[in-house]
Amino acid sequence: MDRKRTDVLVVGAGIAGLAAALKADRQGADVTLVTKASRPEAASTWWAQGGIAVTRDDPDQFAQDILEASAGTADPDAVETLVTEADDAVRDILVDTLGVEFDTNGDGFDYGKEAAHDEPRILHVDAATGKHIHVPFLNYITDETDVEMLDDTAALELIRHEGRVYGVMIEQDGEWAPIFAGATVLATGGIGALYPRSTNPDGATGDGIAMAALAGADVADMEYVQFHPTAVHTEEGTFLVSEAVRGEGGILRNGDGDRFMPEYHADAELAPRDVVARAVKAERAETGEVVLDVSPIEFESEFPDLTAKCNDHGVSLPEIPVAPAEHFLCGGIDVDRDGQSSLDRLFAVGECACTGVHGANRLASTSLLEGLVWGRRAGDAATGHAVERIEAPELLDRDPALPDTFAREKFHRLRRVMDEQVGIERSPEGLSRSQAVLRRLKGEVDAYVRTRTSRPLYELRSAAIVSLLIARAASERDESVGCHYLVDQADALVSD
């Protein structure tokens, strides 16, 4: 593979990376965008359902809702940036540039309402908003800009020296080479692959966070892993039933057929996600199952996409069996208002970044928006830096390749630990035991990475590093807040 240089290197082609690439291209920079995906569905952006929140006429109330959902832990300055720029970013990129046709009613946009939002303010396309944004965005970047997009191309490691990042080692078709860049923007998305049940696509192994942490960048709020309360798990896989369904009147019932959410929170089904997720877990443990009863709403006509998903997965209506699943990481690479990390020339945007907007708990439908707003800001700030070459790290591949089963087995062990000890409920004992297991696992993987280079091995290393960062941050937070919830005793022993 040829060595390459570029003004701005963006890693990841979800909404955040695409927004950063678009902005840098508009500024006249030579932009290269690499993504390990080879199809749109490999990004969480494609899967987004409920929609994207906007301020309408009341930015103060929107900010208030975000702060309340975060249990007062979100950074007010970051929240102000988000709500101030929300409507302009959505209009500029999604409406004027991409021509996304959000649902309307007789009065204009058909704003949706979701849990913990004070008013309807969510733009959506059916309950399949993500793909209606992502596909036109990918097409626009490919067809209408000068951005060079390399798919099926994975970033493995940052090229760095003394607190500055010079580019990235990338892998394509089993070969690797450096790309040197004036600035690098990480937009690698979430961490769902660390848990056995997640709404994220499989490739969400936390690569950007791991690469940045290894290079010495600060990370923040890693303990705040959000679990979505209403995922459906079948043999065909996992899919999400958007909060919008509860927003429209869907009711959660336990195995005895009883509605239970009013006993847990005054806002019942529309309580913050962490509260609903723990309630669903508890009721499932006590009564065997929890269903989302959609009989009070016109489900099939209001949510045709979800109706089709239920059919495909053999789920019969109106009672959809649901359980919590890992959904979103509130923390990540610590960045400022421009997406600048603690390392020179390294930016991070989207789910892999911690802007401070979400604090300990994310308000529904603010993640696409955060990716858009910070993507634009970082794309701008990353422009204008000179490209310099330094000696690239040597990645070795001198030992025989590992069998496919290797990564599978290690992932299995890692996910079990994360599920049992670093999941919806945690205990100090469990968190300390989990770190011991994860440290051992990371040590094993590190030993293999020293003499072998492959995408699955690097993904496993990313997962091990990020799992440890989460477990360590969780063990340092000794009180429950937002989606970090402590119980006294570990429910289960970690088996090695």
Ligand X SMILES: Cc1cc2nc3c(=O)[nH]c(=O)nc-3n(C[C@H](O)[C@H](O)[C@H](O)COP(=O)(O)OP(=O)(O)OC[C@H]3O[C@@H](n4cnc5c(N)ncnc54)[C@H](O)[C@@H]3O)c2cc1C
β strands within 162-286, DSSP E: 164-172, 175-186, 219-220, 225-234, 237-240, 251-254
Binders of ligand X in range 352-391 (CB under 6 A): 365-368, 371
Q: Is 268 in the site for ligand X (CB under 6 A)?
A: no
Which of 15, 181, 232, 343 forms a contact with ligand X (CB under 6 A)?
15
Phi-psi bin for 248: left (phi > 0), alpha (psi -120 to 50), beta?
alpha
Which of 20, 33, 37, 123 forms a contact with ligand X (CB under 6 A)?
37
Q: Is 348 in the site for ligand X (CB under 6 A)?
A: no
Provide CB contacts within 8 A for 306, sequence distance 6+.
49, 127, 241, 242, 245, 299
DSSP assignment of 292-320 equals EE-TTTTHHHH-HHHHHHHHHTTPPSSEE
Q: Is 123 in the site for ligand X (CB under 6 A)?
A: no
On whether the CB atoms of residues 330 and 483 are closer than 8 A, the answer is yes
**Location of structure tokens 């049940």:** 197
Which CB, 461 or 477, lies closer to ligand X?
Answer: 461
Which of 43, 67, 261, 335 forms a contact with ligand X (CB under 6 A)?
43
On whether the CB atoms of residues 368 and 52 are closer than 8 A, the answer is yes
Q: Is 200 in the site for ligand X (CB under 6 A)?
A: yes
465 vs 472: CA distance, rounded Å: 11
The two beta strands, 175-186 and 164-172, are antiparallel
Q: Is 340 in the site for ligand X (CB under 6 A)?
A: no
Catalytic residue among 160, 197, 253, 273: 273
Question: What single DSSP character describes residue 484?
Answer: B
Q: Is 454 in the site for ligand X (CB under 6 A)?
A: no
User: Residue 109 CB, nearest distance to ligand X (Å)?
Assistant: 15
Which CB, 36 or 160, lies closer to ligand X?
Answer: 36
The span of 99-107, 181-189, 263-271, 434-442 binding ligand X (CB under 6 A) equals 181-189
On whether the CB atoms of residues 291 and 252 are closer than 8 A, the answer is yes
Q: Is 178 in the site for ligand X (CB under 6 A)?
A: no
Q: Is 11 in the site for ligand X (CB under 6 A)?
A: yes
On whether the CB atoms of residues 160 and 213 are closer than 8 A, the answer is no
Q: Is 310 in the site for ligand X (CB under 6 A)?
A: no
On whether the CB atoms of residues 324 and 281 are closer than 8 A, the answer is yes
Q: Which residues pair with 179 in a beta bridge?
A: 4, 168
On whether the CB atoms of residues 323 and 345 are closer than 8 A, the answer is no
The span of 2-10, 195-203, 260-268, 278-286 binding ligand X (CB under 6 A) equals 195-203
Helices (H) and strands (E) in the chain, counts: 15, 20
Q: Which two tokens stand for residue 211?
A: 């690469």
x-marked contacts with ligand X along 46-85 as a string, rule CB under 6 A? -xxxxxx---------------------------------
Q: Is 157 in the site for ligand X (CB under 6 A)?
A: no
461 vs 171: CA distance, rounded Å: 15
The span of 11-19, 294-302, 315-323, 401-409 binding ligand X (CB under 6 A) equals 11-19
User: Residue 394 CB, nearest distance to ligand X (Å)?
Assistant: 19
Q: Is 16 in the site for ligand X (CB under 6 A)?
A: yes
- Chain-centroid distance of CA 400 in Å reads 34
Q: Is 137 in the site for ligand X (CB under 6 A)?
A: no
On whether the CB atoms of residues 245 and 235 are closer than 8 A, the answer is no
Q: Is 332 in the site for ligand X (CB under 6 A)?
A: no
Which of 223, 293, 326, 351 forms a contact with ligand X (CB under 6 A)?
351
User: Residue 60 CB, nearest distance to ligand X (Å)?
Assistant: 20
Binders of ligand X in range 201-230 (CB under 6 A): 203, 207
Binders of ligand X in range 235-264 (CB under 6 A): 240
User: Residue 39 CB, nearest distance to ligand X (Å)?
Assistant: 9
Q: Is 199 in the site for ligand X (CB under 6 A)?
A: yes
Size of the site for ligand X (CB under 6 A): 42
The span of 36-44, 69-77, 173-181, 262-270 binding ligand X (CB under 6 A) equals 36-44
302 vs 371: CA distance, rounded Å: 27
Question: CA dist 7 to 28, 165, 179, 315, Å?
Answer: 10, 13, 10, 49
Q: Is 42 in the site for ligand X (CB under 6 A)?
A: yes
Could you confirm whether 273 is annotated as catalytic? yes
Q: In the complex, which residues of this chain contact ligand X (CB under 6 A)?
A: 11-17, 34-37, 42-45, 47-52, 129-130, 154-155, 187-190, 199-200, 203, 207, 240, 328, 350-351, 365-368, 371
Please give the positions annotated as active site: 273
